[in-house]
């Protein structure tokens, strides 16, 4: 739910029509994992934080300005200096603390995505992915506090038994 504009937004449409096919067809060296698709009985926060730290790439769609998604984006920015892509529909505001960041902006998706819209968003996202592989700092935390070293998680002590979202194979 986009509470700012009081409308329902189906972000699964972007995931299923754009993100999944793009990574299947063009970036097969990544394994695509969504936090809500992880099965298990452990506390979800443990898996989420571990995945946010270990992932080679994270894509965050903040169209609805969901507080949980924004919090997780902040965690990612604190854990990893680069390889975070922020997506959002062009409508609505960008939060002040993120308005200096690069965004993949796409037009409002409405009831469905047509082939032209899918192609345009895929092309833009593909360019963002290629750019993110250059390891340029995109985290405000690491931009404004240079010299800070990212934390390291010893995989052997990690509580999850899965690879990271969008981790290179």
3-state percent helix, strand, coil for the chain, nearest multiple of 5: 40, 15, 45
| 134 assigned to some structural domain | yes
Alpha-helix residue ranges (DSSP H) falling in 8-114: 11-14, 20-25, 44-54, 67-79
Quote the pLDDT of residue 135: 84
CB atoms within 10 A of CB 60: 19
Residue 24 lies in a domain: yes
3 assigned to some structural domain: no
Give a yes or no: residue 2 inside a domain: no
Residue 114 belongs to a domain? yes
pLDDT averaged per 10 residues in sequence order, the chain, 169 residues: 74 91 95 78 77 93 91 95 94 89 87 87 96 91 91 58 51
Q: Which two tokens stand for residue 4?
A: 């700012």
Q: What angle do CA 167, 90, 135 make, to 5 degrees?
A: 30
Q: Is residue 99 part of a domain?
A: yes
> Is 98 inside a domain boundary?
yes
Report the alpha-carbon angle 99-133-86, nearest 5: 25
Q: Please give the pLDDT value at position 33.
A: 87
Amino acid 56: pLDDT: 93
- DSSP 3-state assignment of 90? coil
pLDDT at 132: 92
Q: What is the CATH number of the domain that holds 136?
A: 3.40.50
Domain that holds residue 104: 11-168
- Rounded to whole angstroms, the Cα distance separating 93 from 114 reads 25
> Does any domain span residue 1?
no
Instruction: Count up the domains in the chain and report the number.
Output: 1
Report d(CA 150, CA 125) in Å as an integer: 25
């Amino acid at each position: 739910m986009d509470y700012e504009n009081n409308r329902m937004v189906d972000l699964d449409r972007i995931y299923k029509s754009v993100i999944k096919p793009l990574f299947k067809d063009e970036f097969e060296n990544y394994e695509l994992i969504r936090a809500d698709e992880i099965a298990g009985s452990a506390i979800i926060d443990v898996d989420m934080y571990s995945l946010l730290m270990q992932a080679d790439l994270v894509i965050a769609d903040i169209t609805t300005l969901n507080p949980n998604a924004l919090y997780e984006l902040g965690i990612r920015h604190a854990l990893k200096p680069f390889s975070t892509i922020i997506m959002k529909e062009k409508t609505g505001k960008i939060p002040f603390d993120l308005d200096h960041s690069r965004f993949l902006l796409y037009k409002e998706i409405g009831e469905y995505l047509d082939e032209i819209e899918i192609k345009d968003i895929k092309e833009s996202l593909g360019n963002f992915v290629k750019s993110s592989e250059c390891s340029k700092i995109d985290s405000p935390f690491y931009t404004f506090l240079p010299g800070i070293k990212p934390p390291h998680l010893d995989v052997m002590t990690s509580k999850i038994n899965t690879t990271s979202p969008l981790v290179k194979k």
